Amino acid sequence: MLFLPIFFLGQQNDDLTDPMKIAMKDIHNKDFKSAIINLDKSLKIYPKNPSALYFKGCK
């Protein structure tokens, strides 16, 4: 996945909640059910996280 390194370089510190980090690993491992759960957890912490919203819309 080419976008993951670029994704991490463009992150703000607020974007990288623990659930967001786990979700990115889930996406990398193609565990999309777990990724959605962790993206939802991240959005509870930071509701307007553009990265979490973007990756929640991707499949």
Comparing CA positions, the residue from 49, 51, 57, 50 lying closest to residue 32 is 57
- How much is the pTM? 0.71
Q: Where is pLDDT greater, at 57 or 19?
A: 19
What pLDDT, in 10s, does the model give residues 2-38? 455 445 545 555 557 899 999 999 999 999 999 999 9
